Structure 1
Amino acid sequence: MLTYISVKNFAVVKNVEIDINHGLTVVTGETGAGKSIAIDALSLCLGARADANSVRPGAEKAEIVAYFDVSSVKKATSWLSEHELLQEDNQHECFIRRVISQEGRSKAFVNGSVVTLAQLKQLGQMLISIHGQHAHHQLLKPNFQRELLDNYAGNNKELDALKIAYQALTSERKALNELISEQAQRADRRNLLQYQVQELDEFSIGEHEFSELEIEHKRLSNSQTLLEQAQLSFHKLYEGEDFNALSSIRSSADNLSEMKEHDASLSPIVEMLNEAAIQVEEASQEIRQYCEQLEIDPMRLQQVEQRYSQAMDLARKHHVDPELLFSKHMELDAEFKQLNQDESQIEALQASCKQRQEEYESLAVSLSNKRKKAALKLGKEIQTSIREMNMPHAVLEVDVEFDSTIPVNAFGQDLINIKVATNPGLAADTLEKVVSGGELSRIGLAIQVITSGTDNTPTLIFDEVDTGISGPTAAIVGKLLRKLGAESQVLCVTHLPQVAALGHNQLFVTKLTDTKTSETKILKLTDNERVNEVARLLAGDKLTDSALANARELLKLS
């Protein structure tokens, strides 16, 4: 819960420090004194948007510091631990500091560490729940009524499960619709691919076949010339009777070998000639084998030329180099298979969508049943509460109607309406058709008090939610807030003496003004000071004996 707040140079506040106790703390003061200033400051601690107007004129910066006891707020301590923001020496305490500069820039700190605005909002929602003076107007919105009922019923798990089912269903529906919408286009493409792949299958070129065809085609096309030149070379190197290279080299080697006795420097030359003779002889044998193996095959040449020509034609047809014809074949075949899989995938997705739809409907019906059960209880509680607030004949129900024709969404298929009849004999109808502004305020306050217990936040703040309420009704409102304050910490800004008198604690807001500046002060009232303040709320600025007596009487009731 909130234990302390310090506000410096914020709007009309120069310096205010307040210790906040458990129970119901009422905040009163003159009109225009700035009763909501502390709530505005706390809103900044919760991550509200800041601007330069927040800074008191003449000051460099505004600073708000709030201390919280988080010992009983497990969600908050877990969050702090997860973000490594727990204080080592005091893990039960958390303090938030927000600083706003003259230029409107702001910084936020949790336990001394800088945090983002998004992080501040996450933490703030776990610590304080603020109900504004116009919050009851939200009741007229169907979405707000749905959220209200779900929070009251504790439907978080059911809504999470429904959201997951909805996302899965919409995702698969989207994929199915995309496949179906492109079905005709895919059919045309598949027919073309079927012809192209079949043609390439029949030709069935190997991965490196075209390069091999090129080599073989050159060889076969020039086989006669190759044979003639190889035979001639063999004759000149090895077989010529009048002259051949091998005999000439050997003869030279022999002659010089005889001469090396006279000149030893000829030895290396003789060795080279002997090695050359060996090389020439080996080359000659290779040429002989080449000639024996070389085939002049016109039929094979015709076959190679035909396949080579087909490969060239197919390559031009598919706009690729002939060397890439094999990879193009594989690419088209893979695309054709994928298109066939898409068709079978449509059937699978249709079956899956049907199953997802059934799962969603089952969860939506289950959520609707839980809502209906909670709606009965909530309607009775609200009705009981507003009957005590000068609406004795009111009949109120929270109507939940399941409608399967509502398009699937993350919140279910229920039509939820709070319906009320304020006069006997009239049928209940929606709020905007039946209630006046004051009646709406009472219904809104009753709902806020009833549902505050489901907020799971330790501190609840009501900012003039009793607007439009007076007389005996105000006393009932005060009792409701006091009862709520007995269970948790409640701060309530009010102008009603009946509500103010029922507070466990009371703060008084006053504004001091001179010719140059204004300054708002917030004072914690003693018992005697509370008597005077409640009397002022009853009678105005002029305190009479009867007003003081009435104030004491009201304070006795608390």
Structure 2
Amino acid sequence: MLTQLTIHNFAIVRFLELDLRDGMTCVTGETGAGKSIAIDALGLCLGERADAGMLRHGADKADVIARFNIEKNLNAQQWLRANELDTQDECILRRVITNEGRSRAYINGTPVPLAQLKQLGNTLINIHGQHAHQLLLKSEYQLTVLDAYANHQGLLDSTRQHYQSWRSLHAERQRLRQAQEQRQSRLQLLEYQVQELDEFALRPGEFAEIEVEHTRLANSESLLHDSQFCLQLLHDGDDITIGTLMQNVLDKLEQLGEMDPLLKNVAQMLQDAKIQIEESHYELRSYLDNLDIDPTRFIEVENRLSKTMELARKHHVKPEELAEKHRQLRQELQELGAADERLQELATALQQARDEYLDAAQKLSASRKRYAAELSQQITEQISQLNMPDGRLEIVFHPQETPTPTALGLDIPEFQVSTNPGQPLQGLAKVASGGELSRISLAIQVITAQRVATPTLIFDEVDVGISGGTASIVGKMLRKLGESTQVLVVTHLPQVAGHGHQQYLVAKQNDGQQTETSMQLLDKEMRLHELARLLGGNQITSNTLANARELLISG
């Protein structure tokens, strides 16, 4: 339950600290005093949207802190444990808003995203707003009311998951179908390009190889002539050769080495050089023996080199990148070919996903129809107590020839009502007056509130359009609800306020320069005067006080 609400610099509140109790707590005050400010501030702690306009004029920031006792709230405890947040008996939500419009959120002192405030808030408080009777005219809201009453969260989650699976497959098939015409023309081009490259069959790295071979074959005459010249100079010549000269030098150094050992090192170095020269001679001889100057091979290599460069220009790549381009085109061709196969697979998968969705949606529909009859009966019983003795409400479902899948299932409900004997059932918008709609809405909210697991319920002026004896019945309903859960009621009706276990008065003060709102917990005598004011306006008389005493006693 909500145990304390602290507000700093929010709207026209400078500072406000409310200590709240269990049971039914009523909030009253003059029109314009700001009876709903505390609930608006609390909404920030529950993840509602914030902006700089919420700050008190001249303030740098607004700060709202809500404290909850969660000792018996297993849902909140489980959520906190799952999100690795502190799980003591007390839970503290905090929201800070700066004058720049930025906001920060905290759970038990830990900064959290706004979405987490909303998730945890759903386990702590359920707020019924003053505009619920207007929302009740919308089919989507009627569906939400029914699902909340029937506790359909599990069936809704299953339906939503199957819908999303079907939707994802459907979107994929649409994309493939839309691209099919373009894919066909691209497929034809790729088939031609890949076939041409397959026939040419250039290996990775082959271009570098044929470049080297082409250069060698193009210069084979020079390579042959000059290599032979080198051989002659090295060893094979009839006249003086490098080998002969080297041997002569070595012979001289051997003689000199006998005279001076210091020259033996020079002789050894030349001996090593002589061995290297002989090995180079053998290598050069082997090279010449294997030098291929076949003109036919040169033509083949030149043609392959030219074709490689031609295909590279055609595909806008460098010649050395052509083999990789070939691989990429072949892969794209395979993927495009697989798209047709995927379309065939999708047809089967879509049918299966639709069947699974329909199965989940039909289970949800069956449960909705079962609970719709039960909820209709309960609403009818409640509104008969709210000065609509002949009122009757029935939830009907409009059949669809070709149901359109949605994340919420296949059902389109309509709350139909008859307010007078013999009057046929018709939609709420056609039949119910403003006051009747308010009473129907209030009956629905009280009924559904009894089914909701949250330990705190807030009713923000849901009694609009109700007065007199009906208001007294509403007060009794809310008080009974407050016996099992914490109920906060913002009201302008004394007949409702008189049933509260406790009552706060909201007042607005203005010193000519600044306006400020305050909230005061009333004792019994103060409650009598506030109820008298609600009954007769600012002129409090002995009669209005007597009437107020009767209301308070009846509570």
TM range (shorter): 0.7 to 0.9
1:418 aligns with 2:412: no
Match of 1:36 in 2: 36
Match of 1:335 in 2: 332
One-letter amino acid matched to 1:416:
P
1:502 aligns with 2:499: yes
1:474 aligns with 2:471: yes
On the 8 A contact 1:217/1:304 being kept in 2, the answer is: yes
Q: 2:314 aligns with which of 310, 313, 317?
A: 317
Partners of 1:231 and 1:388 in 2: CA distance: 123
Q: Secondary structure at the match of 1:469?
A: coil
On the 8 A contact 1:52/1:105 being kept in 2, the answer is: no
1:382 aligns with 2:382: no
One-letter amino acid matched to 2:457:
L
Q: Secondary structure at the match of 2:414?
A: strand
Unaligned segments of structure 1, at least 5 residues? none
Match of 2:26 in 1: 26
Match of 1:557 in 2: 554
Distance 1:184 1:62, change over 3 A: closer
CA-CA distance at 1:4 after TM superposition: 3.3
Match runs of 1:151-550 below 5 Å = 151-262=148-259, 264=261, 266-403=263-400, 405-510=402-507, 520-542=517-539, 547-550=544-547
CA-CA distance at 1:149 after TM superposition: 1.3
Q: Secondary structure at the match of 2:393?
A: strand
1:138 aligns with 2:152: no
Partners of 2:316 and 2:100 in 1: CA distance: 65
One-letter amino acid matched to 1:217:
H
Q: Secondary structure at the match of 1:4?
A: strand
**Deviations along 1:482-541, whole A, 9 cap, x unmatched?**
111111111222333332332222334455667777665544344454445444444555
Partners of 2:405 and 2:502 in 1: CA distance: 49
Worse-matched range after superposition: 288-297 or 189-198 = 288-297
**Deviations along 1:442-485, whole A, 9 cap, x unmatched?**
00110111111233221212222222212322222122111111
CA-CA distance at 1:337 after TM superposition: 1.5
On the 8 A contact 1:250/1:273 being kept in 2, the answer is: no
Partners of 1:327 and 1:13 in 2: CA distance: 71
Worse-matched range after superposition: 200-209 or 517-526 = 517-526
One-letter amino acid matched to 2:410:
Q
Partners of 2:283 and 2:61 in 1: CA distance: 98
On the 8 A contact 1:400/1:417 being kept in 2, the answer is: yes
Match of 2:68 in 1: 68
Partners of 2:257 and 2:11 in 1: CA distance: 119
Worse-matched range after superposition: 449-458 or 312-321 = 312-321
CA RMSD after TM alignment: 3.3
Partners of 1:535 and 1:210 in 2: CA distance: 102
On the 8 A contact 1:207/1:327 being kept in 2, the answer is: yes
CA-CA distance at 1:222 after TM superposition: 4.0
**Deviations along 1:302-359, whole A, 9 cap, x unmatched?**
4334433433433333333333332222222222222111221121122212221222
Partners of 1:279 and 1:9 in 2: CA distance: 95
Distance 1:75 1:262, change over 3 A: same
One-letter amino acid matched to 1:131:
H
Q: Secondary structure at the match of 2:301?
A: helix
Partners of 2:98 and 2:250 in 1: CA distance: 105
Partners of 1:293 and 1:102 in 2: CA distance: 88
Worse-matched range after superposition: 102-111 or 357-366 = 102-111
One-letter amino acid matched to 2:20:
I
On the 8 A contact 1:190/1:336 being kept in 2, the answer is: yes
**Deviations along 1:41-66, whole A, 9 cap, x unmatched?**
434444453645653x7888766554
One-letter amino acid matched to 1:285:
Y
CA-CA distance at 1:440 after TM superposition: 0.5
On the 8 A contact 1:371/1:400 being kept in 2, the answer is: no
CA-CA distance at 1:431 after TM superposition: 0.8
Q: Secondary structure at the match of 1:414?
A: coil
Distance 1:455 1:228, change over 3 A: same
Partners of 1:415 and 1:453 in 2: CA distance: 25
CA-CA distance at 1:384 after TM superposition: 0.8
CA-CA distance at 1:161 after TM superposition: 1.9
Distance 1:285 1:369, change over 3 A: same
Q: Name the TM-score, length of structure 2 as normaliser.
A: 0.88
Q: Secondary structure at the match of 2:307?
A: helix
CA-CA distance at 1:107 after TM superposition: 6.1
Distance 1:58 1:198, change over 3 A: closer
One-letter amino acid matched to 1:317:
K
Partners of 1:359 and 1:495 in 2: CA distance: 51
